[in-house]
């Protein structure tokens, strides 16, 4: 059991509510699923999101593996349905407010402070902050960000209609996000560090069958070149050592993700990749503090699993609050 420090409570600032039953940090599929269940149970529920709600799912052009949509559904449309369902039951949602600190005060009381110096108080808190794309940390990546370098093909892909595009990474994310780009780009070259793709076979088959695509493996990208904007990518073949420049107008980077956990790194247990450890009920070592979705250790970054996380947390929160 976590040993709470029973220090005097932080002086109250302006609050929208004196005490929420549930504060959910992050408005992606996991967080909104919890909100739907807890608000429907009559619990006063607040969702805080550092951006607009929806998370990475909202930036996906087409989602084909979420049950109930045989033809697939646009990610933004699906997440809008999640949000409207949560709000229907009374969930309060605050966007563009990033959490800077979580402070357990005593069992049944946790404070959440944001970058606007707003302090919210909840009986329980759910961390559903997800993850962000990893950077390559190579020359040109920061210099040409927004000038041809992007981490969201769904967002920025249409800017490169009729142009040559490089996608770095041929996992699920790279191939899935690259497919719609193939419809309007002149040519799309996928550069993968590994000797093969670990993406779902259906995605690999679609990319390989497309006339505009080229898929190259064992490629270590070492630099992004440009003048005012991106002009190409420098890569070294890991087998032959050959250095090659691939001309391009746009570069999309999909080389994995890092969790948003810095604000709780001294509060919860993290694994070696900084994902939050929980038990099977989504509980961290601190009573009343939960972690769900892509930010949680052992979550395979699949929306259906994240939704299940959200439901498990909501069920345990109900019991936790009843026992208070």
Domain ranges of the chain: 20-132+257-323, 149-253
Please give the pLDDT value at position 59.
85
Please give the pLDDT value at position 16.
59
Does pLDDT of 9 surpass 80? no
Does pLDDT of 210 surpass 50? yes
Please give the pLDDT value at position 156.
86
Average pLDDT, the chain: 93
Q: How many CB atoms lie within 10 A of CB 324?
A: 12
What is the torsional sign of CA 258, 262, 268, 272?
A: positive
SS3 (DSSP) at 120: strand
Please give the pLDDT value at position 8.
44
Please give the pLDDT value at position 154.
80
Does pLDDT of 1 surpass 60? no
Bridge partners of residue 14, in order along the sequence: none
Q: What is the CA radius of gyration of the chain?
A: 22
In 3-state terms, the chain is what percent helix, strand and coil (to 5)? 25, 30, 45
Distance (Å, whole) CA 188 – CA 207: 10
Q: How many helices (H) and strands (E) does the chain have?
A: 6, 17
CATH superfamily of 20-132+257-323: FAD/NAD(P)-binding domain (3.50.50.60)
Please give the pLDDT value at position 138.
97
- The residue-averaged pLDDT of 50-71 equals 92
* Among 210, 218, 144, residue whose Cα is nearest residue 181: 210
Q: Give yes or no for a contact between 126 and 313, defined as CB atoms under 8 angstroms apart.
A: yes
Please give the pLDDT value at position 12.
46
Please give the pLDDT value at position 10.
43
Residue 115 gets which letter from DSSP? T
CATH superfamily of 149-253: FAD/NAD(P)-binding domain (3.50.50.60)
Fold equal for 20-132+257-323 and 149-253: yes
- The residue-averaged pLDDT of 68-72 equals 95
Does pLDDT of 310 surpass 50? yes
The pLDDT-based confidence of 27 (bands split at 50, 70, 90) is very high
């Amino acid at each position: 059991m976590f040993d709470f420090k029973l220090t005097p409570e932080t002086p109250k600032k302006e609050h929208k509510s004196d005490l929420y039953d549930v504060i959910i940090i992050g408005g992606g599929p996991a967080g909104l699923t919890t909100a739907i269940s807890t608000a429907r149970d009559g619990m006063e529920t607040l969702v805080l999101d550092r951006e607009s709600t929806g998370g990475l799912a909202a930036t996906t052009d087409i989602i084909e593996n979420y049950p109930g949509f045989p033809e697939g559904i646009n990610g933004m449309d699906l997440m809008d349905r999640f949000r409207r369902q949560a709000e229907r039951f009374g969930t309060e949602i605050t966007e563009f407010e990033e959490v800077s600190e979580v402070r357990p005060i005593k069992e049944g009381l946790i404070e959440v402070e944001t970058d606007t110096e707003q302090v919210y108080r909840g009986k329980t808190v759910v961390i559903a902050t997800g993850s962000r794309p990893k950077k390559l940390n190579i020359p040109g990546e920061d210099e040409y960000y927004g000038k041809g370098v992007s981490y969201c093909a769904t967002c920025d892909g249409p800017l490169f209609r009729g142009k040559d595009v490089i996608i770095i990474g041929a996992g699920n994310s790279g191939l899935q996000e690259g497919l719609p780009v193939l419809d309007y780009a002149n040519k799309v070259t996928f550069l993968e560090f590994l000797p093969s793709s670990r993406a779902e076979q259906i995605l690999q088959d679609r990319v390989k069958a497309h006339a505009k695509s080229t898929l190259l493996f064992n490629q270590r990208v070492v630099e992004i070149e440009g003048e005012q904007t991106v002009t190409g990518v420098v890569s070294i073949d890991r087998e032959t050592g050959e250095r090659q420049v691939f001309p391009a107008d746009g570069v999309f980077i999909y080389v994995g993700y890092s969790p948003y956990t810095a604000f709780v790194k001294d509060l919860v247990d993290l694994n070696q990749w900084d994902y939050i450890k929980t038990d099977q009920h989504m509980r961290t070592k601190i009573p009343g503090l939960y972690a769900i979705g892509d930010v949680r250790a052992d979550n395979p970054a699949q929306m259906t699993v994240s939704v299940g996380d959200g439901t498990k947390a909501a069920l345990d929160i109900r019991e936790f609050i009843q026992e208070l």
